[in-house]
Amino acid sequence: MSVKSKHESIYEKMMNEEDARVCKAIDERACKVVPGNFFITIISYFFTKLADSVANMKVIIPWLMESLSVPLFLISFLVPIKESGSLLPQLLIAAYIRKLPIRKYIWSIGSFIQALCIIAIGIVAWNMQGLNAGIVIIVLIIIMSLARGLSSVAAKDVIGKTIPKKRRGALNGYSGSLAGLIVIDLGVYFLFVGEKPFSPQNFGILLFLAGFFWIIASLTYLKIEEFEGETDGGGNAITVALKKLSLLKTDKAFRLFVITRALFLCAVLSAPFFVILAQQHSNSSNYLLGLFILAGGLADFSSSVIWGKLSDISSKKSMIIGATISTILGFLVFVLSTIYENIFSTLWLMPLIYFILTVGYQGIRIGRKTYLIDLADGNKRTDYVAVSNTIIGIVLLFAGFVGSLSSTIGLNGIILLLSIIGVIGIILALKLPEVQED
């Protein structure tokens, strides 16, 4: 049996697929090489997700910066810069990418730049301290986020050209689960470390490893068989960008999706506050770090494939169910912290809640990615991704000020506010049209 036929056989078993009738939204030539492209993309996504987990901006990098005595005000910029930096420039980036008939190279370049940046942060961990280390790390995160934006715009279009509908959710699901399995090992390692000090040099080695993973992903992605696509709409980047913003006015379904996606940010925004709540009630930092990493890895491993398959049936339902889980948890944590605050002294409780929250967020993340890809075809998909991500980037910048409300409404109040926002998002999501029916 040839390598190609093995791919096809495994693919058919995974997808329960017996013929090519599923290829409705992609080119006939692309349909013939779907199995190979499917596995190449999974491998690439696996290594990027693994790199993201090893160089986690919510846990690992802040922990590193604190160990380097970086001022707190710089650490607080991490997540907003990481998220907004990759989203805000996408309208401008999309105008240039739209001119390219083959776009996989853009994804690989973006991944390679991320590798260089994270390796450079590892070098900083070995050689710098204090304010200078913090400034260099922030600059590298900015560059890294811009590179991530390149990959993000290109990725949606490449998947739309190479993977048929009803298979795109599974793609993200399988890669997320495989990466989660490895992250579980990382969490277990931190548990074994326990109270032993984890030096900046150790973190540097972790970041070198993350960079290596991004390089593997970059090289693997180049093996995708991508055929030339539409190149219309290329022009002056700023002019094109402003013109494409009109989609929010003229396209009702897309506008509703963007608003819903913005409201569903409550899930990812609440995660750091859950971690802070746990830290306030525990002095066992390394054990706690290990439990949170382990919880995130277990959540990805156990739920990603399920969410991926559900998203191929209805990405709308995947988002709604995931958001419902996250929102209910927010209300639960608010009630517990109000009437029985000491319960959070139990070391395993918040990591368990974080596990469930991450499961819910996976449903939102995989669902909205699949929904956006299936909502449009051709260059319209590139426009949707760019406009959506740019708007979300702006929202994230303002959302970063949520933490400033702690002095007035407290940590509990912030968690309650984010949960209420989640309820509004769920109500709006129910009005979204189904996109997997065709």
Question: Model confidence over 28-53: pLDDT tens digits?
Answer: 665 666 777 778 888 888 888 888 87
* Among 4-8, 177-181, 384-388, the least confident range: 4-8
* 262 — pLDDT class (breaks 50, 70, 90): very high
pLDDT at 321 over 90: yes
Distances (CA, A) of 100 to 37, 44, 64: 20, 21, 39
User: Candidates 3.30.1330.50, 2.40.160.10, 1.20.1250.20, 1.10.1740.10; correct CATH number of 3-429?
Assistant: 1.20.1250.20
* Closest residue by Cα to residue 172 from 394, 322, 279: 322
pTM, 2 dp: 0.73
Q: How far apart, in whole angstroms, are the C-alpha atoms of residue 352 and residue 29?
A: 46
Q: How far apart, in whole angstroms, are the C-alpha atoms of residue 169 and residue 311?
A: 5
For 391-411, the pLDDT digits (tens) are 888 888 777 677 667 668 877
For 267-300, the pLDDT digits (tens) are 888 887 887 788 777 765 667 778 888 888 888 8
For 414-430, the pLDDT digits (tens) are 889 999 999 999 999 99
Q: How many CA atoms lie within 13 A of 277 on its CB side?
A: 29
pLDDT at 111 over 70: yes
User: What is the reported pLDDT for 239?
Assistant: 62
pLDDT at 11 over 60: no
Where along the chain do its domains lie? Answer: 3-429
- Residue 198, phi then psi, degrees to nearest 5: -110, 105
CB atoms within 10 A of CB 284: 13
* Block residue for tokens 């390679």: 112
pLDDT at 264 over 60: yes
187: tokens are: 């969490």
Q: What is the mean pLDDT of residues 374-388?
A: 76
* Closest residue by Cα to residue 310 from 362, 384, 375: 362
User: What is the reported pLDDT for 259?
Assistant: 94
* Block residue for tokens 């030339």: 228
Helix locations, 222-251, DSSP H: 237-244, 247-250
User: What is the reported pLDDT for 1?
Assistant: 45
Q: What percent of the chain has pLDDT over 90?
A: 24
The more confident residue out of 124 and 235 is 124
Query: H/E/C letters for each residue in 193-217?
Result: HCCCCCCHHHHHHHHHHHHHHHHHH
The more confident residue out of 216 and 6 is 216
User: What is the reported pLDDT for 70?
Assistant: 80
pLDDT at 358 over 70: yes
Specify the amino acid at residue 266: C
For 181-220, the pLDDT digits (tens) are 777 777 777 777 655 556 777 788 889 999 999 999 999 9
User: What is the reported pLDDT for 19?
Assistant: 45
Axis crossing angle, helix 130-162 with helix 78-87, rounded to the nearest 10: 40
Specify the amino acid at residue 411: L
CA dihedral sign, ordered 268, 270, 273, 277: negative
Q: How far apart, in whole angstroms, are the C-alpha atoms of residue 321 and residue 153?
A: 26
CA dihedral 360, 107, 5, 168 (to 10 degrees): 30
Q: What is the mean pLDDT of residues 46-68?
A: 81
